[in-house]
């Protein structure tokens, strides 16, 4: 490589036109996915106090938000449900008239070109707030599989393009794949939360989804934050069981995991910039400590640069609008 003064890297940084000509990573609105929290009722819009500009909404209000996102070019939405009632087994998760199922049908009717992804997990539906069924105080893996498959099937029946299991039970991708295939939904895709870590950054989400565990924590099923070899094993296992796309979550503190999973599997990879990552940027910006839009775009381009094809982010609409405005 030539050295100074032959090589002067500043030459290509002199104007925005030059910088954009040689920019290595691009972010397109179509690569962004917006998470949405749906609850029963009509005309409901309840702000989430820890997440500026994020609300729980009823289906009608959700369609408005999804329409605005789609108009900005956002590629897809990821739906979470807050049910009318919770019980020990989370039985409302597979209610064909639940908020998520109704939301999917409304979206497929109103916005047929928007990709609809549903989060498949029990924690929003169980009275204890864990991601599967409790047996003697522990989340029972194998008994949870059947319930997760029922939930995924109900989402597929409603018309979801992609179901995304986030529970972290072993074997759930295989259980869901065969339940879908047996019922004639061989065309419904699975995006597995393959490397999902037991993270402190989910705090604000648990307020938004009303899914805080009533006792204990999720470290018995979500991954230890120190592990990357294990993330590869989890990902390969999910691919082996039929995952069409894989996810790394959270995104910002796990860029090395994103990069290794992408390099080693070559599979379509989504990274989830989670509620805590979002809340930190919003909170610092509210105090005037950082510039919101620049911090937002830097965090998103960093996730793309690490190797994510798709970025799931609460900033999806704001980022898409900004990208559109820049042309």
Residues that bind ligand PBG (CB under 6 A): 119, 121, 123, 131, 166, 202, 205-206, 218, 274-275
Residue 169: which of 195, 142, 129, 202 has the closest Cα?
142
Kindly tell me which of 60 and 283 has the beta carbon lying closer to ligand PBG: 283
CB of 96 to ligand PBG, least distance (A): 21
Q: How many CB atoms lie under 10 A from the CB of residue 52?
A: 16
Instruction: Report which residue's Cβ sits closest to ligand PBG.
Output: 205
Kindly tell me which of 185 and 314 has the beta carbon lying closer to ligand PBG: 314
Contact indicator for 125, 70 with CB cutoff of 8 Å: no
Give the DSSP letter of residue 87: B
CB of 186 to ligand PBG, least distance (A): 25
Task: Report, as residue numbers or ranges, the catalytic residues.
Answer: 196, 249
**Residue 100 CB partners (closer than 8 Å, separation 6+):** 38, 79, 80, 81, 118, 155, 158
Contact indicator for 156, 180 with CB cutoff of 8 Å: yes
Query: Hey, is 90 helix, strand or coil?
Result: coil
Contact indicator for 231, 194 with CB cutoff of 8 Å: yes
Kindly tell me which of 58 and 275 has the beta carbon lying closer to ligand PBG: 275
CB of 124 to ligand PBG, least distance (A): 7
Kindly tell me which of 127 and 288 has the beta carbon lying closer to ligand PBG: 127
**Residue 241 CB partners (closer than 8 Å, separation 6+):** 171, 173, 174, 177
CB of 236 to ligand PBG, least distance (A): 22
The angle, 0 to 180 degrees and rounded to 10, between the axes of the packed helices 141-158 and 99-110 is 30
Kindly tell me which of 33 and 179 has the beta carbon lying closer to ligand PBG: 33
CB of 33 to ligand PBG, least distance (A): 12
């Amino acid at each position: 490589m030539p050295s100074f003064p032959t090589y002067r890297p500043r030459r290509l940084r002199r104007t925005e036109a030059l910088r954009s000509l040689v920019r290595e990573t691009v972010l397109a609105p179509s690569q962004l996915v917006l998470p949405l929290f749906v609850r029963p009722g009509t005309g409901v819009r309840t702000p989430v106090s820890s997440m500026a500009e994020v609300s729980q909404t009823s289906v009608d209000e959700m369609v408005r938000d999804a329409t605005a996102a789609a108009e900005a070019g956002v590629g897809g939405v990821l739906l979470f449900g807050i049910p009318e009632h919770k019980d020990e087994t989370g039985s409302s998760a597979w209610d064909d008239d639940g908020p998520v199922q109704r939301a999917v049908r409304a979206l497929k009717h109103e916005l047929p070109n928007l990709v609809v992804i549903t989060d498949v997990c029990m924690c929003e539906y169980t009275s204890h707030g864990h991601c599967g069924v409790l047996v003697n105080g522990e989340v029972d893996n194998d008994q949870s599989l059947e319930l997760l498959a029922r939930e995924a099937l109900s989402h597929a029946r409603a018309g979801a393009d992609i179901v995304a299991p986030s529970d972290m039970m072993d074997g759930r991708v295989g259980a869901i794949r065969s339940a879908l295939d047996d019922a004639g939904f061989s065309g419904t895709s699975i995006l597995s939360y393959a490397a999902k870590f037991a993270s402190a950054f989910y705090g604000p989400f648990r307020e938004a989804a009303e899914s805080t565990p009533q006792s204990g924590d999720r470290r018995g099923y979500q991954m230890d934050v120190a592990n990357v070899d294990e993330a590869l094993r989890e990902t390969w296992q999910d691919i082996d069981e039929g995952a069409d796309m894989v996810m790394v979550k959270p995104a910002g503190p796990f860029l090395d995991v994103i990069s290794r999973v992408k390099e080693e599997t070559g599979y379509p990879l989504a990274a989830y910039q989670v509620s805590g990552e979002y809340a930190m940027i919003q909170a610092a910006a509210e105090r005037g400590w950082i510039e919101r839009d620049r911090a937002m775009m830097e965090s998103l381009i960093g996730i793309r640069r690490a190797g994510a094809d798709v970025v799931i982010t609460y900033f999806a609409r704001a980022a898409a609008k900004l990208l559109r405005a820049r042309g």
